[in-house]
Structure 1
Amino acid sequence: MTQRLFLLAALLSTGLMAGVFFAFSTSVMPGLRTVDDRTFVTAMQHLNASIQNGVFFLVFFGALVFPVVAAALFYRSGDRAAMWWTIAAAGLYLMVLILTVAVAVPLNDQLAAASLADATRARQDFEGTWVPVNHARTVLSTLALLGLGCAMVARWTR
């Protein structure tokens, strides 16, 4: 039962994160592409500030912690197929965290400190790197979700 709960928590948190990244890739950033620089910088400053909350952080970090715990539980029970799929998902999501911490967060911080008087420069320094990194996070987190789905199927067919 504990394995199922951690796998379900992993699926839920990873799916939610894939959805957040997907929403930014497919609607938020394309929508902001059409606005002026000051509006873009202001909007992203507010979005980046509002996403920093306990619920988001639980889901964001849970998408790594829950699969790791599930993999350990699968290992302990001898369910190697589910374990390997879950480890693969955790590895993919770890890459998401690395991209976030190494690239996206520093860009968010730089944009948060930017002056609207130099909004054009701030946007140029941010958008050209942040958008492709977010696309990569979308793909990686979606692949992690797929891996967790495969782990679930492996559990059912066992």
Structure 2
Amino acid sequence: MDTVRLLVLVAATVTTGLVAGLFYGFSVAVMPGLARTGDRTLVDAMRRINAAILNGWFLLGYVGALLFDALALVLLALHEPSRAAVGPVAASTALYLAAVVLTARVNIPLNDALEEAGSPDAPTGPAAARRDFERPWVRANHWRTLLCTAALAALCWALAAHGAAA
């Protein structure tokens, strides 16, 4: 059973790391690159990215991180020698959940609005769509990058605590 606890904790760490890395990539490369383009390019690129990201591989990491965190929390809490890892996993779960809530409340509604605004039949042009989208989306993405990175650090701490208890 200790192997299962360790594998679930590793899975939580890997999936959280993948999501943190994805958000980090947007913060340091994708959005700064798109900031140097025209309005239509940014709107078109983000609409295509938003459509492409909705796939099984993304969902495996994005949803998997939360599920593996929660499962690790339960498995570690039920095993006395592993309880030193419970605090960091609980912190990771809370931090990651905060990033999920931020995504649901800010990034996804902005993505949806951009999809509507970016259609050829939209009453506003790409400049207005960009103005309403870019700054709040980037700011929220920086925050979710920090939250996921902190969650990843907490899971690394949990791995060390779990290893020390073994």
TM-score by length of 2: 0.93
1:47 aligns to 2:54 (yes or no)? no
Give the equivalent residue in structure 1 for 2:87: 84
CA deviation vs aligned residue, 1:19-72 (integer Å, no higher than 9, x gap): 000000000000000100000100000011100001101110111110110010
Instruction: Select the residue among 96, 99, 113 that pairs with 1:110.
Output: 113
Matching residue of 1:119: 126
Percent sequence identity over aligned pairs: 44
Q: Which runs of 5+ in 2 are unaligned?
A: none
Distance (Å, rounded) in 2 between the aligned partners of 1:100 and 1:72: 25
SS of 1:35's equivalent in the other structure is coil
For 2:65, the equivalent position in structure 1 comes to 63
Structure 1 residues 138-147 or 54-63, which shifts more?
A: 54-63
Q: With structure 1 as the length reference, what TM-score do the two structures score? A: 0.97
Unpaired runs of 5+ in structure 1? none
1:68-125 deviations in Å (ceiling 9; x for gaps): 1001000111222101110100100000000001110000011011135610000011
Indicate which of 20, 25, 28 corresponds to 1:26: 28
Partner of 1:94: 97
Q: CA RMSD in A?
A: 0.9
State whether structure 2 residue 150 is matched by structure 1 residue 143.
yes
For residues 86 and 4 of structure 2, the distance between their equivalents in structure 1, rounded to whole angstroms, comes to 14
Question: Could you tell me how far apart the structure 2 residues matched to 1:130 and 1:32 are?
Answer: 13
Structure 1 residue ranges (4+ consecutive) displaced by more than 6 angstroms after TM superposition = none
Give the partner amino acid of 1:105: I
